Amino acid sequence: MGERIFHCAIGPCATAGGVALAERPRYPVARSVTPFALAGSGHDLDLAPNAPEFFARALRWIDETVSLRQV
């Protein structure tokens, strides 16, 4: 995602599909894995110029995935 010193910087984490392939094996009992790759973000999503895109996506994921009516 724009940097070369962190894991996945130039490899599978450049796209959401690549993230899914790389991370899915780490969560074998999860019902789903929903990757998101923020273009040009580098290692720190909070400081990326397009951080609001990530925040909006994260909030949408929470709304779609987390139920507030859990027993």
The answer, yes or no, to whether residue 53 has pLDDT greater than 80, is: yes
Q: According to the model, what pLDDT value does residue 51 have?
A: 94
Give the list of residues 6+ apart from residue 67 with CB closer than 8 angstroms, or none: none
Cβ contact 8:17 at 8 Å:
no
Tokens read off for 4:
């070369």
Tens of pLDDT, residues 20-48: 888 888 889 988 888 888 888 877 888 99
pTM of the predicted protein model: 0.65
Specify the residue for token string 């994260």: 58
- Considering only residues 55 and 43, tell me which one the structure prediction assigns the higher pLDDT: 55
Q: Is 27 helix (H, G, I), strand (E, B) or coil?
A: coil
What average pLDDT does the chain have? 79
Mean pLDDT of 48-57: 94
